[in-house]
Chain A
């Protein structure tokens, strides 16, 4: 059989995964996104590795050193009313707040992706019904919804994570539904059906991998919102309960000392701000980097 190929003629590229490299380059060019990524890595390292570097933990009560201001003593960020080291508490709180944020994102993404995928792929009455459910849930202001549910449950890390997830899956569902609707029409999806692929195969093995970009972006923004949501409800007293620290309830405790010991409020506030804005920047950067239209 005649040789229809010539080894030099595989079009263009020499590296097998050109798409991935381009995406990474595009992300790197987004300075704020890189900054955000760096900040998150720093926060995570600080919160999870930090406690091993500090001589005291967050429970150690040092009454003689209570209300110590920051940068003045061995307690780098000062101490709280009970003499506990502020930095240590921040780190523990960081672990908790970020874990809740991340876990809530995972649950929300799974739930949202499944519902969105089913709605987008099947369409028709099922799809319409599911999307109206999404719309209905979006009608409720999330904070009020959260507070209302939180008032009825026993607040703990697991339950808070769950209710945050339950009130934030809708965005992901919307994104996935839109993606599925357009991907379903593509020729390769038709080819998969022609092959005899089951619906489950087509949705999860053929179509969803092509929607990874927008899902990742939605998930990243979801983490930011989850951290913020946890802070809100903990600040209002319905979330993580003391003595377990979270950035939100540290802010709550710091309210009465705003004028006398402002550092008690400033540092948790800064931490929340940094975490949330960093995730938002990363989300922006990912959105540009993963835009399939910019490939080839």
Chain B
């Protein structure tokens, strides 16, 4: 495990591996992922399907199917509000339930699946509050009203008695955010929270998250595949491919000079607005498809699609995660030469 930098991180994930048992075979969805996130920081976790980005975070919070269907290894050390550092993966059922929602909260992509369609908004937010903060229902509802206006929903008091289907997608996501921050967690994990929303609503939600972060100092792990959103919100970026961490670093340097060919290829294959209307622009599409976790290529998982592939090296050994410079890690055998 690497040395912990100056501002003590809130969450340190160390060597997490997740495997699923599917019809007899063991599928390794996540291999040995380690990262950390500091208070007030936004860490973007970028990856496509099969990269393991969502599974990693579900595993940390013990939200994956229980053993023996799922095997989770490694540690996830969370420094809780009382100052004690606990390993989330090793925590007992009772401990993890006290931590979820209270110390670490999660926001999902589809607000309709996070919200109970038969309970009012007020009841749902209050439920989270009562569960962790031992206050009366009435007090919880008052807090819920405050939270609802904090997340930018007008007419908070009236909205408490609405049901989820009365609200638009953007509003529902705000309610989910309200529930997530209701107990002032130290870390919020947002898994594609704006992917299903319109672009103007997405901008509103991202702005909201930034403001809340400024106010409460919470750390955000932002999982997404949208590089534009990453550029908007991230302080640091982690790129995952084939279940492994392949590049990590501060956002600006990573976008300017990506070291791992996958990151570079990804940035080059996304249409950019400055290309608009120009006939001379060539988009470098990455050939091939994203690998299936049950059929990972040997050696470096990206090698069949990589422009810098060298036979005998890239398909023979799994590249280790190296520290390229201060704060930057790369998993590539050839990063120095490229």
A/B contact in complex, CB under 8 angstroms: yes
Mark A residues whose CB is within 8 Å of B.
2-6, 8-9, 11-12
Question: Which chain B residue has the least Cβ–Cβ distance from A22?
Answer: B23
Mark B residues whose CB is within 8 Å of A.
285, 287-289, 291-292, 294-295, 297, 304-305
> Of A2, A8, A12, which one neighbours B304 at CB under 8 angstroms?
A8
Contacting residues, chain A, for B295 (C-beta < 8 A): 8, 12
Question: Which chain B residue has the least Cβ–Cβ distance from A11?
Answer: B292
Q: Once bound together, how far apart are the Cα atoms of A236 and B50, in whole Å?
A: 64
Assess whether A6 is in contact with B288, with CB atoms less than 8 Å apart: yes
Contacting residues, chain A, for B292 (C-beta < 8 A): 11-12
> Of B285, B294, B304, which one neighbours A6 at CB under 8 angstroms?
B304
Assess whether B294 is in contact with A9, with CB atoms less than 8 Å apart: no
Q: Once bound together, how far apart are the Cα atoms of A11 and B295, in whole Å?
A: 9
Question: Max chain B CB contacts within 10 Å: which of A2, A3, A8, A9?
Answer: A9
Question: Which chain B residue has the least Cβ–Cβ distance from A3?
Answer: B287
Question: Which chain B residue has the least Cβ–Cβ distance from A8?
Answer: B304
Rank and list the top 9 A-B pairs by shortest CB-CB distance, nearest first.
Answer: A6-B288, A9-B289, A12-B292, A9-B288, A6-B304, A4-B287, A11-B292, A3-B287, A2-B287
> Of A2, A3, A11, which one neighbours B289 at CB under 8 angstroms?
A11
Question: Which chain A residue has the least Cβ–Cβ distance from B286?
Answer: A4
Question: Which chain A residue has the least Cβ–Cβ distance from B293?
Answer: A12
A3-B287, A11-B292 given; name 15 further pairs at CB < 8 Å. A2-B285, A2-B287, A4-B288, A5-B288, A6-B287, A6-B289, A6-B304, A6-B305, A8-B295, A9-B288, A9-B289, A9-B291, A9-B304, A11-B289, A12-B294
Contacting residues, chain B, for A4 (C-beta < 8 A): 285, 287-288
Question: Which chain A residue has the least Cβ–Cβ distance from B297?
Answer: A8
Contacting residues, chain A, for B291 (C-beta < 8 A): 9
Contacting residues, chain B, for A6 (C-beta < 8 A): 287-289, 304-305
Contacting residues, chain B, for A11 (C-beta < 8 A): 289, 292
Contacting residues, chain A, for B285 (C-beta < 8 A): 2, 4
Contacting residues, chain A, for B297 (C-beta < 8 A): 8
Q: Once bound together, how far apart are the Cα atoms of A6 and B286, in whole Å?
A: 12
Contacting residues, chain A, for B305 (C-beta < 8 A): 6
